[in-house]
Structure 1
Amino acid sequence: IRGLVAVEPADSSPEHGGLAGDDPGEAGPAAGRAGLLDRDAVWRAKLAALELLFSVSGPGEVAGPGEADGPETGHDGLTDFATWCALAERHGPDWRRWPAHLRDPHSPAVAAARVELRERIAFHRWLQHACDAELAAAQAAARDAGMTVGIVHDLAVGVDPGGADAWALRDVFAAGATVGAPPDGFNQQGQDWALPPWRPDRLAETGYAPFRQMVAAVLRRGGGIRVDHVLGLFRLWWIPTGNSAAAGTYVRYDADAMLGLLALEAARARALVVGEDLGTVESSVAARLARAGVLGSTVAWFERDADGEPLPPRRWREPAMASITTHDLPTVAGYLTGAHVRVRARRGLLRHSPDAELRAWRRERDALIALLRAEGLLAVAPTAVDDLDQSALREVAFALHGLLVRSPARIVLAAPGDALGDLRQPNLPGTVDAYPNWRLPVTDADGRSVTVERLRADPRVHRLAGLLAQVREQARRA
């Protein structure tokens, strides 16, 4: 495909009207979408190439999941998904706006559409087979390169209410409610993720088949799975349609059943499971996750003792996956410079005044810098952080990753963009159009877009990788 389609990264420099500073909104309307990933344009370009490849190779030329293996392989789900894709090309991407007779996947009208659109359905099935083959190749390459686990997939907390999953399994999802999170320190007005929740009663009545088949499909091509918002296996924050996130309530699930099936499928795939258990977690939940062999998630920003002081890395959890930040939190450079406070202030996402939030952030940041100095990882005085240049800030970023190396965590993670000074948070939870979530390219400290080729070659990325490689060497010695 790369030989057929070339998509140049947008120039994000100020002289080209790109995005400047730490806020994606600073570019203003004159800049249009310059500096953002235009995913629609990329998809149109890729689609043209893929259709050409399909016309040459045809569906029989791509090896995929066994066609005769039955529904547990996802065969029936694949047909439903491909049917939804073909119908969406004709009627739009939200099945709730389709003609009424097409909203039920088991209706005679949909059966007729499967016949009429069989060529497009075959194409979309072929696309999924191609994805499956590429995932298998990526996992094999990771293992061949010496990675014990390889790909760790992400299991999202929900699905698009207008998408294929909600259409094919609509009786298992609740209508009239969405899921999210109550107010907390980073998202002070709560979060509404605009995703439909599982219905606990229908999950039980179906023997949890939709959940189990989803987990099994994800683990086909990988060595692990990260369960986003793992507390959702115990309870979910349901928000009635038309209400604010703060007006929601918790609805409980059969955690023993869901954890048991998750552990069963992971054991069958010989895969590890990581639960994103950040936030307020009941002690009973942590104990049940541990009994099920589910690793926790450790984020440096949140590791604090009873007095609110940063926790030394030697006291971090061992059965966990540790990182400095996540995709839903500030980048390292964004946190060190306070960009995350200013971005949320401009969008009215703070409960307290921006000045109060900035003072609280400085106290937390300076305490982290003090921990780095106490650990012998940095020789920078806390009071000098605001005056540091980009080179010195980068040294602070590398020192923070040194905490990961010193922790007992079984798995450590880093984002390559943090080696380059990327300022902008990939996703700002609780926002849809107010922030360009998932459309921000990785940038360096000067705001220039960074290509994959540059990430592979940049010495700072290699330095970060070498730093984290010390974890494996320490494990071997131990």
Structure 2
Amino acid sequence: SSRRFPDPVHLRIEDVPEYAYVRERTRLDELLKAADALRRSVLDDGELIDRDAVWALKREALEVLHAVPLPPGRREAYCDYLAHRGQALEDHATWCALAERYGSDWTGWPGALRDPRSPATARARRELIDRIDFHTRLAWLTDTQLAAAQRAARDAGMAVGLVHDLAVGVHPGGADAWAQQRTFAQGMSVGAPPDAFNARGQDWGLPPWRPDVLAASGYAPYRGLLRDLLRHAGALRIDHVMGLFRLWWIPRGQEPTAGTYVRYDAEAMLAVLVLEADRAGAVVIGEDLGTVEPGVREALSRRGVLGTSVLWFERDWEGTGRPLPPANWREGCVATATTHDLPSTAARLTGEHVGLRHRLGLLTRPLAEEQAEDAAEVGEWLAYLTRLGLLPEGARGEEGAVRAVYRFLLSTPARMVGVWLPDAVGDRRPQNLPGTWDQYPNWRLPVAGPDGCPLALEDVVASPRLHDLMRVFAPVPDTLAPPVRGPRPRTAPPGARPS
């Protein structure tokens, strides 16, 4: 719904200060039991994550907390937040209040309410002032918990801390599209043309920004968005960073192959990006995967924007086509084995991702042909890792191969290395499968072990497999190191690695 304000579904209710001052706790206790039942349904019964049910419980709990008066100091901080966020916050909270009454897609609301500046909307703001206050309070609470998380990360000695994500777009019926609708191209959707990974192309269902309106506004919506995301972040990952240069526009209702590229003023977009990142002292990471036109990576590199290099894609494409030697990898990148849009390393090693795509009808070639090509690619990489001496426990199977992959990433000159959490516990399912909508439970799968059984956070932290993988990054006794004291760097130092 919004890229400007984080979703309050992520709030930890027990950490809201007003939670301690609720006198009648019967209802809160009932909600806690219901929340635990939801959690057990995932962990014990293997059900999918039901975020709507989670949000219903949290929203009711937050209604109880909202009735608790704010003490003077908290009230002052809340008022400061309201003044700082201004019209953008009021618009966001107004959409939330109207959505409660008329539904979550503003394009289906009564005509006059579709315009955030209409007299009818102004009247609705007055009528719904209590609900608007509720939703502005949620935005404030979420902001304060994000700030606390970043402080905790820095106090623990993390040079970067939280890495926020700039999604490529927003839902066409959501809060941002309503409040900033003149900035978005109506009747258009963002996607990707056919490529080697998805021969049918992709339609993400997100309205693109109009480059002419951005330019006429001095890029104010874009600047404001970056500042919002960088408030409590040590780094910002930009999804589909090529969108700063051009986006694949698809007329709504048409196939992705019917789309075309529309260009943006990349010089202006990059200038605003690096200026805001520098002001925040933050690292910028671009997801430059897929169809990347010539010159994009060079333009990003000149401005200090890191790219994303995925092991399976890094080959000597201009020469032998074999795996690219680690010394030949670029320095200005986050080196990783996979991403949320790709198979986990365990799935890649076992070939399970090919079977999944076959079952969903996403393959464009016979299954046997796809499996043979995939097995040959994996075999080539494993042989190369063995020759480099990175697979000493090769006979021990999948876990040893996963650790060898990360040893390889650490041997590259990449500034940072990304660890995919499911790799640490052997999960074989992708979190998101491009080209699917309701065919696959995207973003509803809890992290699971190799047997597919969901894992609680406590299980993940205690996982021997995770600890074995972490020793690849920090080959020291498995004990907690003392936190780093003293001044903290504002950005990741050269050669930064996770630890």
Match of 2:239 in 1: 228
The residue aligned with 2:367 is 354
The 5 A counterparts of 1:95-110 are 95-110=106-121
Separation in 2, partners of 1:408, 1:281 = 22
Between the aligned partners of 2:454 and 2:131, the Cα distance in structure 1 is: 35
* 1:334 paired to 2:339: no
Match of 1:384 in 2: none
- Take 1:56 and 1:237, find their aligned partners in 2: how far apart are those partners? 48
Residue 404 (structure 1) aligns with: 409
Shift, 1:67, TM fit: 4.1
CA distance in 2, matches of 1:230, 1:104: 31
Other-structure match for 2:67: 55
Q: Distance in 1 between matches of 2:276 and 2:80?
A: 18
Partner of 1:28: none
Displacement of 1:65: 8.3
| Alpha-carbon distance in 1 for matches of 2:399, 2:199 | 29
**CA gap 1:405/1:470 in 2 versus in 1, 3 angstroms:** farther
Report deviation, 1:415.
2.1
Q: Is the 8 A contact 1:182 1:190 kept in 2?
A: yes
Q: Distance in 2 between matches of 1:35 and 1:188?
A: 32
What is the aligned partner in structure 2 of residue 181 from structure 1? 192
Residues 59 and 262 (structure 1), Cα distance of their counterparts in 2 relative to 1, 3 Å cut: farther
Give, in whole Å, the separation in 2 of the partners of 1:475 and 1:107. Answer: 53
Distance 2:438 2:213 in 1: 33
Report Cα offsets for 1:269-297 as digits up to 9, x if no partner: 01111111112323311121111111111
Shift, 1:68, TM fit: 7.0
d(CA) in 2 for partners of 1:231 and 1:59? Answer: 47
CA displacement 1:214-266 (0-9 Å, x = unmatched): 00110011111011101000000111112111221111100000000000100
Could you say what secondary structure the match of 1:157 adopts?
coil
Does structure 2 conserve the Cα–Cα contact (< 8 Å) formed by 1:235 and 1:251?
A: yes
Match status 1:76 vs 2:87: yes
Corresponding position of 2:459: 454
Note the C-alpha offset of 1:424: 0.8
Q: Percent identity?
A: 53
Alignment of 1:72-471 (within 5 A): 73-306=84-317, 307-379=320-392, 392-469=397-474
The 1:366/1:11 distance shift into structure 2, 3 A limit, reads farther
Q: For the residues of structure 2 that align with 1:59 and 1:164, how far apart are their CA atoms? A: 30
Match of 1:40 in 2: 52
Sort the Cα spacing of 1:148 and 1:473 in 2 relative to 1 into closer, same or farther, 3 A: closer
SS at match of 2:236: strand
Paired with 1:412 and 1:111, the residues of 2 have a C-alpha distance of 49
Give distance in 1, aligned partners of 2:410 and 2:493: 10
- The CA RMSD over aligned residues, in Å, is 2.4
Whole-angstrom distance in 2 between the partners of 1:476 and 1:412: 8
How many angstroms apart in 1 are the aligned matches of 2:314 and 2:79?
42
**Alignment match, 2:4:** none
CA apart distance, 1:458: 2.0
* SS at structure 2 position matched to 1:149: coil
Is the 1:82–1:121 contact (alpha carbons within 8 Å) kept by the matching residues of 2? Answer: yes
Residue 463 of structure 2 aligns with an amino acid whose one-letter code is D
CA contact (8 A) 2:415 2:494 kept: no
For 1:466 and 1:215, locate their aligned partners in 2 and report how far apart those are by CA, in whole Å. Answer: 36
Identify the residue that residue 484 of structure 2 maps to in structure 1. none
Letter in 2 for 1:183: P
Q: Secondary structure at the match of 1:87?
A: helix
| Secondary structure, counterpart of 2:68 in structure 1 | helix
Name the CA shift for 1:421/1:108 in 2 (closer, same or farther; >3 Å). Answer: same
How far apart are 1:59 and its partner, in Å? 9.3
The DSSP-based 3-state class of the residue aligned with 2:335 is strand
The answer to whether the Cα contact below 8 Å between 2:240 and 2:286 also exists between their aligned partners in 1 is yes
Structure 1 CA distance, aligned partners of 2:362 and 2:79?
45
Point out where structure 2 has 5 or more consecutive residues left out of the alignment.
1-12, 20-27, 477-491
Query: Any conservation in 1 of the 2:414–2:495 contact (CA below 8 Å)?
Result: no
Deviation at 1:465, TM superposition (A): 2.8
Q: Amino acid of the residue matched to residue 374 of structure 1?
A: R
Counterpart residue identity of residue 46, structure 1: K
Please say which of residues 229-238 and 330-339 is displaced more in the overlay. Answer: 330-339
Amino acid at match of 2:343: P
Counterparts of 2:48 and 2:335, CA distance in 1: 29
The separation in 2 between residues aligned to 1:241 and 1:347, in whole angstroms, is 24
CA distance in 1, matches of 2:378, 2:134: 51
Q: 1:64 to 1:258 in 2, by over 3 A?
A: farther
Secondary structure of the residue aligned to 1:188 is coil
In the alignment, structure 1 segments of 5+ residues that lack a partner are 19-33, 382-387
Aligned mates of 2:493, 2:277 — CA distance in 1: 27
Q: TM-score, normalised by structure 1?
A: 0.89
User: CA offset at residue 327 of structure 1?
Assistant: 0.4
Cα separation, partners in 2 of 1:44 and 1:59, compared to 1, 3 Å? farther
Partner Cα separation in structure 2 for residue 131 and residue 462 of structure 1: 31
How far apart in 2 are the matches of 1:468 and 1:476? 11
The separation in 2 between residues aligned to 1:275 and 1:301, in whole angstroms, is 18
Question: Matched residues in 2 for 1:283 and 1:473: separation?
Answer: 29
Deviation at 1:416, TM superposition (A): 2.4
CA offsets, 1:81-108, max 9 Å, x none? 1110111111111111111111111111
One-letter code aligned to 2:325: P
1:346 shift after superposition: 1.9
